[in-house]
Structure 1
Amino acid sequence: MSSIRKVAELAGVSLGSVSRYLNGHQLKEQNMKKIAAAIKELDYKENIIAKGLKNNRSFSVGLLMNSVSSQFGAEIVSAIEGVMEQNGYSVLLSGFKGDVSLADQKIDYLVQHAVDGLIVFMSEQDWDGMERLAELPIPVLTINSPIQLPGVDRIQVADRKSVAKVTEHLIKEGHTRIGLLAAPQNDYVARERLLGAQQTAAKHSGTVLVTEYGDYSRISGYRGGKKLLEQDITALIVTNYNMMTGVLEYLQHSPDSTRKNLVLAHYDYTSEMAELLTDRIVIKAPTQLIGQRSAQRLLERLNPEVLTAGEDETIDNEIFGI
C-alpha cells in the first residue's frame, strides 16, 4: 500500500509539503502539480477517518437548497460536488422543497452531522431567523442570498445587470413598448430581474415597460405571453425558463402576424436557441462556474490560515444574441 512518504519521495518534496497539500494549503504551483501526479501514479488513498479524528474534521460539507429538481440547481450541485470530491470532501445534501419554515430544522440536521462547512443555495427567500447563519461555528456561504450576513460569504449572480443590458439593447434597437413576464416577487432573484428592466426603461422617456406576472409554470408563461402580445409590444423579455417554454407554445399556435416582428429575450439553460433564430436573445447562468467558485471559496474558508470572511463575489450571466 502506498504511503505519504512514498508520495513525497516520488514528487521530490518534503513530507510536510505533502501533508500541507492534503490539508488544502496552497503551495508553489510546481510542487502541487508534482504531488498530484505522484498521488495519481501511486493511487494513494488517504485514511479519511484517521485524518478527520486528528484534525477534528469530518471532511464533509452541508448543502442546503430549495430543490434539486431543476436543471439549473442540478448543474450547480454537480459542479460543487466535483470540486469537493477532488479535495477529499463529501457533500451532504438537504432540501426544504419550497417550505422555508423547514430551513432551521434542516440546518440543525446538517450541523448535528458534524459538517465542516455549509453552503446555502437557492436562498432567494429570506426566512425568520436567517441571521443564525452568521452565528454557526462553521464557515458558511450563500448563493443568491437576499441579504449579506456578517462573516458569511456570498456568491451572487448579476441578474439585475443582465436584464438591464438586454433592455438597454432593445431600446437602442428602437423598441418603445417592451413586454416583461416576471416571476413571483417574493423571490429575491425575481425582484432583481424585474428591477433591471424597470430601472433601465425609466431612464428613457417614451419607453413603456408592459409587465405581467407568472408563477414559474409553463401555463402561466402561455397565458402571460398571450396577454402581453395583445398589448402591441414589439419585444418580450421572459425572466424564467419554464415560463419561456409556455410563451414559445403560445407563439407556435398564434397567427404569424403576432410573432412576425417580435424580438424574444429569455433565460435558458443553453445557448442553442440563440443559434436557431436571429431574433432570439438568450441569458444563460454559468452554472459550472457558480458551483466551482462556491466550492472553492468554502474550501478557502476551511483553511485555518484564511482569516477573511463575509466576502461578496458577483458572477455575470452569459448573454447571446446582442
Structure 2
Amino acid sequence: MNKLNISIIGVPTDYGQTRRGVDMGPSAIRYAGVVERLKAIGHTVEDQGDIRVSQKHEGAVIDKQLLNLEEVVDVSTSLANSVHDALEQKKFPLVFGGDHSIAIGTLAGLGSHYQNLGVIWFDAHADLNTPETTPSGNIHGMPLAVSVGLGHERLVQIRNYAPKVKPENVIIIGARSVDPGERELIREQGIKVYTMHEIDKLGMTTVMEDAINYLKERNVDGLHLSLDLDGLDPLYTPGVGTPVPGGISYRESHLAMEMLQDSGLLTSAEFVEVNPILDEKNKTANVAVALMGSLFGETLV
C-alpha cells in the first residue's frame, strides 16, 4: 500500500439543502478520530481546517429552482481553489462535508488536473437534477449534473471550464431514489448506474469488479470517490438529511472501500451529508471514519 500525503479540507456548509445541522459534519468526523486513524495506518495527514463559509447574502434574489445559489457558488469556488492547491502540492485531497453540493467545488478543483477523470458516486440519489427538473430547488440534488456540464452557468463554469468529468466516466452505486428527469439524463448521457437491484442481484463484489474494470478500460488517469452517507441503509447511518430505506449494508460498504483501495486507482475522496443533529451518538460520523479506514488500507492482520 502506498503511503499518502493526505490533505483534509472541511466544508461546513448546509446551503445545498434546507435541513440545518449538516454544516457540523466536518467537526463530527474529526471528533470520531479520523486524523488519528489515518495516521495509524501510516499516512501523513495534514488537516487544513475548514474553508470559510460566509453568511447568507442579504437581499439576494431568491430563485426557488436554485436555492442559495450565491452562497453555493461562493463555497464551491473556495473549495475548488483549495482542492486545486492540494493537488499542486502533490497531496491527496480528502474533503469532509457539509451537504453534497460541495462536490461541485471538489470536482471543479480536480478536473483541471486530469484529462480523463473517473468518478464513483456512492449515493442513494443520482444528484442529476437541473433547475428545470428539480422538485425541491435544493442544489445538493444537482452536483453531478453540474459536474458533467448541465445546469446554471455560474455553477457549471466554476474555475472557467466545463465539464469537470465526462458523463461516461461516472458510475453511481447504491441508487434507489431517482427522479424522472434524472432517469432521462442517465439514458441521454450514458451514465453507468448500479441500483440496489443490481447490488442485491449481483452482489457487491461483482458490482465493484465491474465498476473498476470499466474505469480501467476507459483509461482513467484519476479516480474520485464521492460518498454520501445516505448511500448506506439508515440502519447504519441515521444522521443524514435524506435517508432512504433499503440501502447498502455496513459490510458491503466496507467491501466496496477495500476493493477501491486494492484497485490502486483512487486519487481523491469526499465524505458528505453527516448531520450530527439527526444522528445517534455520532454513529454516522463513526461509520464514515470506519469506511475511511478501509478505503485507506486498514487491515485486521
TM over 0.5: no
Could you say which structure has the larger radius of gyration?
1
TM-score where L is the length of structure 1:
0.26
TM-score where L is the length of structure 2:
0.27
